[in-house]
Amino acid sequence: MSELRIRTVLEPMGPAGAIVLTDAQVAEVSTAKAFPVTVTIGANTARLRLGRMGGKNLIGFSKANRTAMGLELGDEFDAVIAADTAERTVEVPEALSSALADAGLTAAYEALSFTRRKELAVSVADAKQDATRERRIAKALDELRG
């Protein structure tokens, strides 16, 4: 498959925004209905996901992604969309990595989806105080224990 070059608008979707694609546009990028994509706007590239919601093909943009890409809801822009075939990895903070190993939960963490692994890692990495970091690690370990 190839990349898709389009002029589009960032449509409001609740608190988030999305690029809406037609079935024909999706077919230009992949034979799948939902898949990871890279979206390049100007000099900025984001690793996102195309999915279906309410019968529409959407590439969602969280507030954080919109800020990183310099976009606001309703903005019109040129975008290059391609299937993202690169391995998705998460940089695990040392404190979380050690706690996972000590608890024997590294395999359980690795079995989580990319998005959930990223959420847990960012939560721990963004903690400003040691007490907050420890609380978030404990919560992650409890989640993994089931």
Which CATH number goes with the domain that contains 20? 2.40.30.100
43 domain residue, yes or no: yes
Counting beta carbons within 10 angstroms of the beta carbon of residue 143, is it exposed (0 to 12), middle (13 to 18) or buried (19 or more)?
Answer: middle
Q: So what's the pLDDT on residue 87?
A: 84
Mean pLDDT of 32-57: 95
The pLDDT tens digits of the residues spanning 67-108 come to 999 999 999 999 999 999 888 889 999 999 999 999 999 999
Q: So what's the pLDDT on residue 125?
A: 96
Residue 60 and residue 107 in one domain: no
- Confidence check: pLDDT of 1 > 80: no
Residue 100 and residue 65 in one domain: no
Enclosing domain of residue 23: 4-83
Is the whole-model pTM more than 0.75?
A: no
Count of domains for the chain: 2
Question: What value does the CA radius of gyration of the chain take, rounded to a whole number of Å?
Answer: 18
Q: Which of 117, 90, 84, 72 has its CA nearest to residue 1?
A: 84
